[in-house]
Amino acid sequence: MRLSGKRALITGAARGIGRATAVAFAEQGADLVLLDISADVPGCPYPLGTVSQLKATAEECRAAGASVVEHVGDVRDGDDLRSAAERALDRFGGIDVLVNNAGIAAPSGRPAHEITEDEWSLMLDIDLSGSWRAMRAVLPTMVAQRSGSVINVSSTAGMVGYRYFAGYVAAKHGLVGLTRATALDYAPHGIRVNALCPGSVRDEPALEGRMLVEIARCLDVPTADHEQTFVESQPMNRLVEASDVASTAVWLASDESRQVTGAVVPVDGGFTVR
């Protein structure tokens, strides 16, 4: 029970990496506030998580023994995030871990000059500013506690460039920069801030994730062949599993990583070392 007694807020928790991380945290003893927009977003060309998917995540976590608060909220709205933080304080008395997982991969698939103002703003508002807003909501509590761990889920797109994904790459690089700057800001308060950079993560039916298939669609990769297409760029010759990302998040949330801050941790099967 590596997270026994820890209280965690996880954004984008309805499905995919968010669900895998929530369940892994629950299995390791954490209590949870699970936040998801649970609705589609105008301008994002694919469906996002739903209320029923958020409830499914919560039920899996409760079955693992966790106390769980479900919170429907939008990371573009600071009031929603402050409300989630307040619910964590009311229910659990504190917040030890923030996992900034909420994000979108599209609109993408075009060169930079073809991105509209609205598309650019939407990507940065969710993938970069959303994490900053969540940090702003929970950091006062962590400062008062003089402890905490913030895990910003970036991407290999936060470490290298990808053709036709300028907005996504800019947001994820920005999240790495935010991680490094705030790691310095809050180290004197005993708070650690790290970035987790997944590579190509397989869409597991049990987790109801669809990020990889949507990235494939942006690149006009046939959905029937998309997994093999992405495997061909992996030095370890297999896709990353959501559980690989979740187990790394457990380590970053735990006291085992107490001297790790400002780190950029790839979980990518060696993709970024080529």
Q: What is the pLDDT of residues 180-225, one digit of tens each?
A: 999 999 999 999 999 999 999 988 889 998 888 889 888 888 877 7
Rounded distance between C-alpha atoms, residue 17 and residue 211, angstroms: 10
Q: pTM of the entire structure?
A: 0.96
What would the CATH number be for the domain defined by 7-257?
A: 3.40.50.720
Average pLDDT over residues 53-69: 98
Question: Which residues face 196 on adjacent strands?
Answer: 153, 265
- Tokens (6 digits) for 130: 């959303």
One-letter identity of residue 16: G
pLDDT score at 220: 84
**168 flagged as catalytic:** yes
Confidence of residue 49 (pLDDT cuts 50, 70, 90): very high
- Tokens (6 digits) for 79: 């009031």
Element (H, E) at 196: strand 191-198
Q: Which residues of 127-155 are buried (b: 16+ CB within 10 A; e: fewer)?
A: bbbbbbbbbebbbebbeeeeebbbbbbbb
Lowest-confidence segment of 133-137, 183-187, 235-239, 249-253 by average pLDDT: 235-239
Region of residue 117 (left: phi > 0; alpha: psi -120 to 50; beta: else): alpha
pLDDT score at 223: 72
Lowest-confidence segment of 35-44, 160-169, 232-241, 244-253 by average pLDDT: 232-241
pLDDT score at 123: 98
Mean pLDDT of all residues belonging to the chain: 96
Residue 208 DSSP one-character state:
T
Rounded distance between C-alpha atoms, residue 246 and residue 235, angstroms: 21
Q: How many residues does the chain have?
A: 274
- Catalytic residue of the set 46, 162, 164, 168: 168
Residue 92 DSSP one-character state:
H
Lowest-confidence segment of 144-148, 167-171, 234-238 by average pLDDT: 234-238
Rounded distance between C-alpha atoms, residue 226 and residue 205, angstroms: 15
